[in-house]
Amino acid sequence: MANHPSRYAGKAGVGLLSGLLAGFLLGLGARMAMSVIALAAHQEPRFSLGGSLEVLATGILIGLPAGLVFVALRHHIPGSAVGKGATFGLLLFLTLVLVPPPAARSATTAVGQRVLTLVLFGVLFVGFGILVEILVQRLLPQEQPEDDAKDRTIG
């Protein structure tokens, strides 16, 4: 049965787990990128536990729904596995550039290093998309091509 509800639940779980893990790494990368941007602006990078946890949480909150969306759309994205992940990550990044979360809006207006910010975060999101694809490939059971004859019953 190709459309069994447990199959969709399993895919959703894989999407959530992949998004969670990749989102956590996205948050770590974002924290490091923020330090690089501060240094480029000749400012001392500031770290606080609360600020670092907020950046990690933001990565995870972006990653969870993104993982679900990726699992739903990955077969419709053209290209190789890496290409699919990179395309998804880039599209996600461009979406967030056009409609940034409130925390990102205040951070980008305070920084004079816009090109550096866009490049660093663009690379992070492309990497995020590739990592989500790799995780999904590893976690999803191999999908068999649907065989119409197998679903037919006689009698």
Q: For 24-43, how does the pLDDT look when each residue is reduced to its tens digit (9 = 90+)?
A: 999 999 999 999 988 888 88
Cα–Cα nearest to 129, from 66, 55, 61, 60: 66
Residue 152's pLDDT band, with cuts at 50, 70 and 90, is very low
Q: For 42-69, how does the pLDDT look when each residue is reduced to its tens digit (9 = 90+)?
A: 888 888 999 999 999 999 999 999 999 9
For 47-71, give one letter per residue: b (16+ CB within 10 A) or e: eeeeeeeebbebbbebbbebbbbbb
Residue 142's pLDDT band, with cuts at 50, 70 and 90, is confident
Rounded to a whole number of angstroms, the distance between the first and last alpha carbons of the chain is 18
